[in-house]
Structure 1
């Protein structure tokens, strides 16, 4: 078994895995990402479909360097105008549509793979288990601003990923560092093609969860509790890194609820199993509307909440806040809500020794 970058010219028909990579202004990181691909040791051919979205730094130059060196593997598209800002679904339009592989793996240009056998192990598993459509792994997290590497992130966050458990993915969605990280996933191309045919028109800010949850409804999902990759957090680098921007957090929470409502209704999920997480995300969304004094969104989603079997919010403060014109009462409810959110976010983490130690190291000892 040797790295395919060192083999002779390969016929495109032999490609078994298509790696999809999106890049934009990743000059500082893209080389490490590409090296992670090139260093894969496999007994099959793979291709790297990389889309540079009109980077304004030297990202495209670095990609070109690798394209020249590995022309049978590195297959880039260089945009002159940014497509993401135009609302284009870049992966599906520019990468998945030209994939030659039976399987798709993904990794964005600021993340990278560390296990040279990542693809081989995942493909071996999927080839032997035809009832599984996707396999993913544990991962490390690199905090760019503090130069700190958190090893085995799922383990540190006490996140238990159960093999082949659709309910597990549904319940963990929205939790910090939970479930399937895209850079660790490898899945059957047929599943992504099926998802594209049923994807509803939407303005969701999250694309990975609905896609992977759909796959979990259609096939089994495997998990390796070993780190194969590094997820890099950079200031203002991704949707998940919103810091204290509560407006962004509100929009993300709206997306979570909208996605859950779509699957809950479209696929008639069992109420006694899947309703709890849906209600939880509704309540968190209501909390953010109160903190931002956004009564229009609060009313809109209270109405949607009422359509779920005439469900009523467990917290009556939501409706009191909506109807109140007293600033004193509104500020009091906002204060209570802030304490509630703080508690739900941090209380469990305070009793997680691994998490506390890693946080202290990252914040104070670097």
Structure 2
């Protein structure tokens, strides 16, 4: 008799031939006493990733279940691939999410999360910290994917309004809370944030402080890479505006239960947009003081340095990159 599937792993890839093998190996290497399925969507990769995926499908036909596109869906406006093409195929009690250029670094990740969720039926989402890896060897803000300083249960309001990002590859959710997906999921410009909002509407969350996955920053084919290409300022402001609309839709969907938190989250994102664009009058504006203080002391010091001595700051950055490239 076939065992009931406990976890559907929802995996999305695009031009991740350098990474997808490592990603799949770490999924397959999970220590578990329950069944999983790997629902993979490749968005018409042109770098050989689909050949690697086919090889894994041949070797693990009961586990690896891919959709291999010949036409790119993202370029046709279908941005949240996970919800559109992977979630409808899922049969697991839980769903775990992951991008093909990231990977799980703890072989007991799923087991730890499942154990907690099974013991706490009022918990809608379990997630964890992640290590950040830059392909160019550049400096990494260690707090980037560490949204909370310690492991603990989270109130739904904290899911809506928190200062630091959570890694998409860390999420484990009850599948039932995602059926059906709300409209704001499909209009949101990213796939991770609406999952947190949906979870907040359905219950509590639990956060593990230990990093159990690796997030690759600024790799080819990644969302972060796309944000840094072309008209950077225009993309940043468009993203902030789209996210503000997502928060408004979520606020309406939940009848204002999280109104203060959505307003605060949108205002913080506007501040972070001006921070990324180095709009100093806005960064230091009185209304943004609380968000500015959320930055660590190191980041605030470097920001002042860059503002007051921009030429020297750029020179030191260039020399640092040269040393890293030679190392």
Q: Please, what TM-score do these two structures have when normalized by structure 1?
A: 0.71
Q: Does 1:351 align with 2:297?
A: yes
Contact (CA 8 Å) 2:97, 2:172: kept in 1 or not?
yes
Find the structure with the greater CA-based Rg. Answer: 1
Question: How far apart, CA to CA, are the structure 1 residues paired with 2:58 and 2:214?
Answer: 26
Contact (CA 8 Å) 1:167, 1:274: kept in 2 or not?
no
Contact (CA 8 Å) 1:142, 1:150: kept in 2 or not?
no
Question: How far apart, CA to CA, are the structure 2 residues paired with 1:257 and 1:213?
Answer: 13
Aligned partner of 2:312 in structure 1 is none
- Structure 2 residues not aligned, in runs of 5+: 303-316
Q: 1:86 aligns with which of 60, 72, 76?
A: 76
Aligned partner of 2:160 in structure 1 is 170
Question: How far apart, CA to CA, are the structure 1 residues paired with 2:25 and 2:221?
Answer: 21
Alignment of 1:20-169 (within 5 A): 20-88=10-78, 89-146=80-137, 153-155=144-146, 163-169=153-159
What whole-Å deviation, never above 9, does each CA across 1:306-351 have from its counterpart, x for those lacking one? xxxxxxxxxxxxxxxxxxxxxxxxxxxx77447769x978876461
Specify the SS of the correspondent of 2:223: coil
Q: 1:265 aligns with which of 235, 246, 252?
A: 252
- The 1:200/1:224 distance shift into structure 2, 3 A limit, reads closer
Q: Does 1:187 align with 2:159?
A: no
Contact (CA 8 Å) 1:36, 1:116: kept in 2 or not?
yes
Specify the SS of the correspondent of 2:36: strand
Question: How far apart, CA to CA, are the structure 1 residues paired with 2:103 and 2:246?
Answer: 28
- The 1:203/1:192 distance shift into structure 2, 3 A limit, reads closer
What whole-Å deviation, never above 9, does each CA across 1:87-108 have from its counterpart, x for those lacking one? 2342223211111211100111
Contact (CA 8 Å) 2:131, 2:214: kept in 1 or not?
yes
Aligned length: 301
Over the residues paired in the alignment, what is the CA RMSD in angstroms?
Answer: 3.6
Aligned partner of 1:205 in structure 2 is 189
Contact (CA 8 Å) 1:23, 1:50: kept in 2 or not?
yes
- The 1:352/1:158 distance shift into structure 2, 3 A limit, reads farther
Structure 1 residue 217 displacement after superposition: 1.8
Aligned partner of 1:327 in structure 2 is none
Contact (CA 8 Å) 2:148, 2:209: kept in 1 or not?
no
Specify the SS of the correspondent of 1:223: strand
Question: How far apart, CA to CA, are the structure 2 residues paired with 1:200 and 1:90?
Answer: 14
Structure 1 residue 169 displacement after superposition: 2.4
- The 1:121/1:280 distance shift into structure 2, 3 A limit, reads closer
Question: How far apart, CA to CA, are the structure 1 residues paired with 2:298 and 2:272?
Answer: 22
Contact (CA 8 Å) 1:138, 1:152: kept in 2 or not?
no
Question: How far apart, CA to CA, are the structure 1 residues paired with 2:267 and 2:144?
Answer: 27
Q: Please, what TM-score do these two structures have when normalized by structure 2?
A: 0.78
Contact (CA 8 Å) 2:13, 2:41: kept in 1 or not?
yes
- The 1:92/1:271 distance shift into structure 2, 3 A limit, reads closer
- Structure 1 residues not aligned, in runs of 5+: 1-9, 292-333
Question: How far apart, CA to CA, are the structure 1 residues paired with 2:61 and 2:185?
Answer: 37
